[in-house]
């Protein structure tokens, strides 16, 4: 019933064994390189995508954080110090998404990070497939709750529960291990996936699932 209403909710362990945390789909020509000096455009918000961008920025990439004038990153309402750390050294752009400006920013990118359902960016005239085909070596990173082929939404807490990344209380019932734990886990998976793809030549659409990343870590214990 929660899924029918578009509410982020999950049954404990329901995502375990359902898919790989990272799926790569070839969409363009290869041109191997590292992240240093590349232009990364980050449309994501909150924690997972920005952490990926932060790690790639630490590896030498130039990161541009893009926000909508009508929907800024919700992480701005949290700890200012944590937000500054996630976006340290990044350029910030706040755009009217209805103006066509986001597509212009994407045209200059080597890597795009986003955490939207595919139809949202397509409505803005931004297509991952066209981005990858336009120039060799590009990488498109998509972070969603359960993968691009699922329309379900998720946040760090319920995705961690879906992946079984929880502890147990004295009664044997699941409890959270940390705040929105699937977010930092996915951010690390994502940064590794992008770096691996670039080294292998890029030209890939990388689809990451918050729940599957949490499940992968839970299954490794």
CATH number at residue 206: 3.40.50.10540
What are the C-alpha distances in Å from 51 to residues 41, 108, 158, 220? 13, 22, 19, 22
CB 78 within 8 Å of CB 72: no
Pick out the chain residues at pLDDT < 70.
none
Number of structural domains, the chain?
A: 1
Give the model's pLDDT for residue 3: 85
Q: In this structure, is residue 71 part of a structural domain?
A: yes
pLDDT of residue 42: 98
pTM (predicted TM-score)? 0.94
114 within a domain of the structure (yes/no):
yes
What pLDDT does residue 99 have? 87
Can you give the pLDDT at residue 98? 85
Indicate whether 4 belongs to any domain.
Answer: no
Residue 129 belongs to domain spanning: 22-219
In a domain, 115, yes or no: yes
Q: What is the pLDDT of residues 141-160, one digit of tens each?
A: 999 999 998 889 999 999 99
pLDDT at 119 (0 to 100):
87
């Amino acid at each position: 019933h929660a899924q029918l209403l578009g509410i982020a909710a999950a049954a404990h362990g329901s995502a375990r064994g359902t898919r790989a945390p990272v799926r790569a789909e070839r969409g363009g020509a290869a041109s191997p390189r590292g992240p240093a000096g590349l232009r990364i455009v980050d449309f994501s918000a909150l924690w997972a995508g920005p952490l990926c961008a932060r790690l790639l920025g630490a590896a030498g990439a130039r990161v541009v954080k893009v926000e909508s004038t009508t929907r800024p990153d919700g992480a701005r309402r949290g700890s200012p110090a944590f937000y500054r750390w996630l976006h340290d050294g990044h350029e910030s752009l706040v755009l009217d998404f209805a103006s066509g400006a986001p597509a212009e920013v994407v045209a200059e990118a080597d890597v795009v990070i986003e955490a939207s359902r595919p139809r949202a960016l397509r409505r803005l005239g931004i297509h991952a497939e066209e981005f990858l085909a336009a120039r060799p070596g590009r990488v498109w990173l998509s972070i969603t709750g359960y993968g691009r082929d699922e329309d379900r939404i998720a946040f760090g807490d319920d995705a961690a529960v879906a992946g079984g990344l929880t502890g147990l209380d004295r009664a044997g019932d699941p409890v959270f291990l940390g705040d929105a734990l699937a977010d930092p886990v996915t951010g690390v998976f994502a940064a590794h996936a992008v770096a691996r793809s670039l080294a292998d030549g890029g030209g890939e659409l990388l689809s990451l699932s918050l729940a599957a990343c949490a499940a992968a870590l839970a299954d490794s214990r």
